[in-house]
Structure 1
Amino acid sequence: MATGLLAVAYGAVNVKDYLFYKRGMSFTIPDRFKPWIFRRGRAIRDGRRSLAAVTGLTAAMALGVSLLELPCTAGLPVVWTGLLRANAVAGAEFVGLLGVYLLVYLLDELVLFTWW
């Protein structure tokens, strides 16, 4: 529930940014921080940062993204299997319906990676 509310709030701010750019609350990066960010990015790109630092930062970012995505990737399959069990679906029918769910759940990835 909290993740959904957070997503709606984030979406509302992004719509506001589209309609009223840089007025009020915004998730855009302020212009005064951009040179610093670009310098740091170029330092990483040009190899002026150690491999350990780049690896550590990449792992930290991956961990953060994984924590944010966890409710979506774990929550929906748990609800789906709970619905199947609550309706006494078992055996081959359970496996078949789980397969249908996984197909729908992964359809966007299948389309994206099949055509690209």
Structure 2
Amino acid sequence: VYLLFCAENMPGGGFVAGLVAGVAFITRYLAGGRFELARAAPLQPGLFTGLGLFISTAVGLLGLLDGTVLHAFTYHGHLPVFGDFHMSTPILFDFGVYLLVLGVVLDIVRA
């Protein structure tokens, strides 16, 4: 998760974070077999893949509302415990890529 959120200013992003999370599931598979993997990731990999593809595509096409493709929208808010925060659409795009890569890795391991 750290690699996913630090990507704006440092190396990382959805692809790298998805691979690292996938390696964690591969390690669980190697340690405990397919039943351990089924307990660690009870959802089907296709759900991660489909949801990630949908989120990334939707965020990429969201700019069409403004007349451009891949236009970044930003949101500034305040959370009571955490304080002020800044969120933009590239983090949502990275989250979609994260889910997509994680789903593909889980699908490969379960094959």
Same fold flag (TM > 0.5):
no
Bigger-Rg structure (1/2): 1
TM-score with structure 2 setting the length = 0.28
Per residue, is there more strand in 1 or in 2?
2
Per residue, is there more helix in 1 or in 2?
1
Structure having greater relative contact order (Cα 8 Å, sep ≥ 6): 2
